[in-house]
């Protein structure tokens, strides 16, 4: 059975004081939850402070992005060693906002994945289609290209360290929602792609989580689906009560 994985992406929200307050509330509220992995991903300036708050708890720390070079004249970028030094064990790579606002390509994201794996930072690799792509029946083609190009050159052993997050871009902050069945069908498709590219064993063990307006009132339905192994939560991760309800889904 795949171990559930619940991640909170704070995006560009919360300052130092409010971030520390939230982290403390989550540590207290999640105490005793040991049967699933919990991750929170604050903005870069908060990582060290939040890392100290999480020390000794079951909640892991992740970064929202990383660059593929180890160091150099790359103003505004952050390396894997930098985020590790703040206590990060994970990093989000290929979030829809990085792809579609900042223009990050599949090839660039593949370099980031390899850099993270080489640094022993576990990637949460995001894939998903735009609304127009879905309406044109291109979901399978888009996701397959993202999976195939992003994972190029990554072997089975490294793939087992990756969590894949399916994010239908059309269901993020648009008022449109994917039903649990909609999400599960694409998760099943991704698992089939991995089976064909690697093996059925690797595909069966791969954790595929859902990230598309996950909230306390839809988490139970999502987690009841056979191929949904967790969630990548946006806005609902910014409040302790709502995120803890998601963490403690039925």
Half-sphere exposure of 204 (CA within 13 A, CB side): 4
State both tokens at 3: 């171990």
117 by DSSP, 3-state: which?
helix
Burial of residue 30 (number of CB atoms within 10 Å: 0-12, 13-18, 19+): buried
182 phi-psi bin (left φ>0, alpha ψ -120 to 50, beta other) = alpha
Catalytic pick among 53, 97, 129, 167:
167
* Contact assessment for residue 212 and residue 172, using Cβ atoms and an 8 Å cutoff: yes
Catalytic pick among 53, 90, 95, 227:
95
Number of neighbours of residue 56 by Cβ within 10 angstroms: 7
* Contact assessment for residue 131 and residue 176, using Cβ atoms and an 8 Å cutoff: yes
State both tokens at 8: 């909170």
Strand pairing report for 230-233 and 5-9: parallel
Half-sphere exposure of 78 (CA within 13 A, CB side): 17
Per the annotation, the verdict on 95 as an active-site residue is: yes
Per the annotation, the verdict on 167 as an active-site residue is: yes
Positions marked active-site: 95, 167
């Amino acid at each position: 059975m795949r171990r559930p994985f619940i991640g909170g992406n704070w995006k560009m929200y919360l300052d130092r004081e409010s971030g520390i307050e939230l982290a403390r509330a989550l540590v207290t509220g999640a105490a005793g939850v040991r049967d699933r992995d919990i991750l929170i991903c604050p903005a870069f300036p908060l990582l060290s402070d939040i890392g100290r708050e999480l020390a000794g708890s079951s909640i892991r720390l992740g970064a929202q992005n990383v660059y593929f070079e180890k160091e150099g004249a790359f103003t505004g970028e952050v390396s894997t060693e930098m985020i590790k030094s703040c206590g990060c064990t994970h990093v989000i790579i290929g979030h829809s906002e990085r792809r579609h606002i900042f223009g990050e390509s599949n090839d660039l994201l593949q370099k980031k994945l390899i850099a993270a794996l080489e640094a022993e930072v576990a990637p949460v690799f995001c894939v998903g289609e735009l609304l127009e792509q879905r309406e044109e029946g291109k979901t399978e083609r888009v996701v397959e290209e993202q999976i195939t190009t992003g994972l190029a050159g990554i072997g089975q052993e490294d793939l087992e360290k990756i969590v894949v997050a399916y994010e239908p871009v059309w269901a993020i902050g648009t008022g449109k929602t994917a039903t649990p069945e909609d999400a599960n069908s694409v998760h099943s498709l991704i698992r089939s792609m991995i089976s064909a590219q690697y093996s059925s064993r690797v595909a069966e063990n791969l954790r595929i989580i859902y990230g598309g307006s996950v909230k306390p009132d839809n988490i139970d339905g999502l987690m009841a689906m056979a191929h949904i192994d967790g969630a990548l939560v946006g806005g609902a991760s910014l409040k302790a009560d709502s995120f803890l309800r998601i963490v403690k889904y039925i």
